[in-house]
Every structure is written in structure tokens, then in C-alpha cells.
Amino acid sequence: MTEDGAVFEHSVVPRFFEIDRQGVMFNMWYLAHVDEAVDGFFLARDLPYDTWSELGVDVHVAHVEIDWKAAITLADRPKVRMSTARIGKKSFTLDFAFTRDDAITATGCIVYVAVATDGSGSTLLPPRLVEALGEVAPLRTA
């Protein structure tokens, strides 16, 4: 987490198999690293994913955006920065930014919709999840 606690940082070590023939990280691996960062984001906020069923909720990805600005190579040691961008009644959005030496290499967002674990469909975000999402602090600007 950053000093203000609004932004979580997850370190990434690119693996050989993630690098394509052009010598850069293949695009699908960005979302794998985002998923790992999301797990760390909620762990750091004392709401590990394996406890969500106790809240009667799970989440489904409804939308993802990624904008690439520069490549990540095998030698790079990027970080994924993650913050809460929006909190709705039944969904929330997390912003992410890949950085290398504090320079942004990619930005994006991921929208999650809350679903009831009993199979009844979408549901309101439980108060504990809203609390864990914390302060809305978007990383991306319009």
C-alpha cells in the first residue's frame, strides 16, 4: 500500500514464458498480473477472497479495459498499482497501472459485479466489501 493507503502496489517478475517473440510481455499476461494484484489488494485490506463466501457474495468480471503505453520486457521489474475507482450498489471498478521505474507502461480498469453465492443473481455489495474497497481514488483520468 502507499502511504495514504488508497493505492496498493504489487511487484511483478516477468517469467520467460510470458515474453513473446518480439521480446515483450504477451498481452494476456497483463490480466493475470492484474488478477494477482486484486488478490493482494483485498488481502491488504483484511478481506481475503477465501472469506467472501461467508458474506454470501462472489464477483464476476463484467468489463476490462487496457491501454498500453510502453512494453515490459523480461529484464524489467514492473509494479501493478491498484485503487478503487468507483463503488456502486451492485458493482465496483478497480483502476490499475503498470509502472516500470515509476513510468507508466499500461493503464486500465476492471469492473466487477457482485453475485449471490446461492445462485440467485446479482446482489448488493455487502458492507464489509464496501469497507474494504475504501476510498475512491481513481488512477486514470478521463
**Tens-digit pLDDT profile for residues 53-90:** 999 999 999 999 999 999 999 999 999 999 999 999 99
Q: How far is 70 from 120, CA to CA, in rounded Å?
A: 42
Q: Among 139, 75, 77, 60, which residue's Cα sits nearest to residue 107?
A: 139
Residue 16 has pLDDT above 70, yes or no: yes
Whose CA is closest to 57, among 136, 135, 128, 132?
128
Q: What is the C-alpha to C-alpha distance for residues 73 and 64, in angstroms, rounded to an integer?
A: 23
pTM: 0.93
Picking from 43-47, 64-68, 136-140, which range would have the lowest pLDDT averaged per residue? Answer: 136-140
Q: With beta carbons less than 8 A apart as the criterion, state whether 84 and 135 touch.
A: yes
The ranges assigned to domains in the chain are 8-133
The Cα 114–Cα 128 span in angstroms is 13
Q: Which cell goes with 71? A: 512494453
Which triple of cell numbers denotes residue 134? 475504501
- Strand order of the β-sheet with 8-11 is 8-11, 79-87, 91-100, 103-116, 57-68
Q: How confident is the model at residue 3 (pLDDT cuts 50, 70, 90)?
A: very low
Contact 110, 42 (CB under 8 A): no
The pLDDT confidence band at residue 5, using thresholds 50, 70 and 90, is: confident
Q: Is the pLDDT assigned to residue 50 strictly greater than 50? A: yes
Query: What is the architecture of the domain spanning 8-133?
Result: Roll (3.10)
